[in-house]
Amino acid sequence: MPHLTATLFDPVHVGSIALANRIVMAPLTRNRAPGAVPTALMAEYYTQRASAGLLISEATAISQQGQGYSDVPGLYAEEQVEGWKPVTHSVHAAGGKIFCQLWHVGRVSHTSLQPHGAQPVAPSAVVAKTKTVLINDGVPTFTDTSEPRALQAYELPDIVHTYAAAARNAVQTAGFDGVEIHAANGYLLDQFLKAGSNQRRDDFGGSIENRARFVLEVVRAVTDAVGAPRVGIRLSPVTPSNDAFDPDPQPLFDYLVRELAAFNLAYVHIVEGATGGPRELPDRPFDYTGLRRAYRAAGGKGAWMVNNGLDKALAEQVVKEGADLVAFGRPFIANPDLVERLRRGSAFNEGDRSTYYGGGAKGYTDYPTLGKR
């Protein structure tokens, strides 16, 4: 239903968690976790942005097999879990809430990042026409992804179990308020959903129901592990990111959100259009209002989060039209006080793209806030 009198700054509940406002910091890969272990600098970075109603962490690998980029954090080793504790503690001390985005990149990886130099895994042995980021001697380099191998059906339950284990690590040990299942942007779960990357002929390929099966098994396992009110999911129906493509996404995602409605999730996070690009893709039309209606008609009560290319005016518009939450990505990189800038209508700092991936404090924790130059 429309929220005709709603504003970006209204408090709102998401699952079992009270948020101070409707503004969400979207997950942003920054490649500043050497050895996949979170650092004190990351704690400072997230705490600076804790005025957002909800922070969603950078994508965090559930296993070494799930790693696809250099210096991104994980949640599968004890030192990684311990490394996240100061982050969540500091965010909570600042009054913020933070979910961890759970990630398996699938075929968007490189053999140098995989256990024993193995091939990356995927639904099918189809190379992703995209690049990953490798960091050598502190220098990030965009590198072609490696040829993947197709997962055998008997391997899938173990990956499902690994998602659940990472969720428990996040919520029960590391102190996150919840987790977001990353099923977007051409990574493993999205690869199973979309026909361009899923050419399987077993129970996990072919029909819409089969291609959605693996995602739904992961959702079931994660909600069983930490409770559905602490679980969100991210979807990107038409983004071309990482060579993601489906020739008929509307019925696929309408089916998926109807199935998700039964899980009582905290939220459904939708990337509208091309991730980090245009919101409208003429060659990939999609009815996002219809998608939300399909979810609600099936009984879905989770918060509906809209993401991609939002400014203040558009964010206010989508909230009035029925979105419960609005996610901002890149603006949060250069504007740790983005909530206050939106409140005042102040200009945004410009981000330094040369420091987006890898490095130290420069371009990470040194952006000025209002009144500080």
Query: Tens digit of pLDDT for each residue in 256-278?
Result: 999 999 999 999 999 998 788 77
pLDDT at residue 117, as a whole number: 96
Q: Could you tell me the two tokens for 309?
A: 């290319």
At 159, the pLDDT band (50, 70, 90 cuts) reads: very high
At 349, the pLDDT band (50, 70, 90 cuts) reads: very high
pLDDT at residue 211, as a whole number: 98
Q: Could you tell me the two tokens for 339?
A: 């909530």
> Domains in the chain, start-ordered, CATH in brackets?
12-355 (3.20.20.70)
The whole-model pTM stands at 0.97
Q: Tell me the H-state helices in 149-248.
A: 156-168, 188-193, 208-226
Of residues 261, 102, 121, the one with CA closest to residue 174: 102
CA atoms within 13 A on the CB side of 193: 33
pLDDT at residue 144, as a whole number: 96
> Is the pLDDT confidence value at 373 over 60?
no
Q: Is 162 exposed, middle or buried (0-12, 13-18, 19+ CB in 10 A)?
A: buried
Give the H or E element holding residue 3. Answer: none
Helices 249-260 and 208-226 cross at an angle (nearest 10°) of 30
pLDDT digits (tens, 9 = 90+) for 113-136: 999 999 999 999 999 999 999 988
Are the beta carbons of 57 and 46 closer than 8 angstroms?
A: yes
pLDDT at residue 137, as a whole number: 81
Q: Could you tell me the two tokens for 372?
A: 């500080």
Active site residues: 187
Helices 208-226 and 156-168 cross at an angle (nearest 10°) of 30
SS3 19: strand
At 372, the pLDDT band (50, 70, 90 cuts) reads: low
Q: What is the mean pLDDT of the chain?
A: 96
Rounded to whole angstroms, the Cα distance separating 23 from 30 reads 20
At 1, the pLDDT band (50, 70, 90 cuts) reads: low
